[in-house]
Amino acid sequence: MSGAIIAGRAYGHRATLELAGDTLTWRAHRGSLQPTPENIVTTIHDVRDVRWIEQAFSLPGGVLGVLGGLWTYTEGLVWGALALAAAAAMIAHRRLRPRLYLGLDLGNRELVMKVAVASAADARALVGRIERARATGELPATPPALP
């Protein structure tokens, strides 16, 4: 995992989280009209809380499925079947392509990234590494270097 780059999107723009040993380097852009670069360097030991979210259910698909069931009885089999087919497609799509989010709480700042599928394994490994460091009370081997 050391030396990995987790890519994704934050604030509506491309963002990266580089891992070098215990050091994390966050690079993103804030704002929409004139994006301001945001570069944060910290260590896994400074992370107060970490979250990994895999959104694998489609709420609109579930609602459409319920409506399709109701429409089968009230509006007829054709409309109900069409709604149920669309709901099944939406649910299957989200199940096969979940939304992946990584959240890091640094105390004074919270970093949230929608993780690219190609970086999901590295992001999961980072979450595990941070959780182990927090659970054991591990301290950094050396103080972090200034960027």
Tokens, residue 13: 């723009």
In a 13 Å sphere around the CA of 48, the CA atoms on its Cβ side amount to 7
* 2.30.30, 1.10.1060, 2.30.29, 2.60.40: CATH of 5-55+99-136: 2.30.29
Q: pTM of the full predicted structure?
A: 0.79
What residues does each domain of the chain span?
5-55+99-136, 59-96
- Listed residue (119, 64, 62) closest to 95, CA to CA: 62
Tokens, residue 44: 């896994």
pLDDT given for residue 135 in this prediction: 86
pLDDT given for residue 95 in this prediction: 93
- What tens-digit pLDDT sequence spans the chain (147 residues)? 667 899 999 998 999 999 988 889 999 998 878 888 999 988 888 889 999 999 999 999 999 999 999 999 998 899 999 999 999 999 999 999 999 999 999 988 899 999 999 999 999 999 999 999 888 877 767 665 655
User: Rounded to an integer, what distance in angstroms lies between the CA atom of residue 22 and that of residue 108?
Assistant: 19
Q: Is 28 helix (H, G, I), strand (E, B) or coil?
A: strand
pLDDT given for residue 75 in this prediction: 87
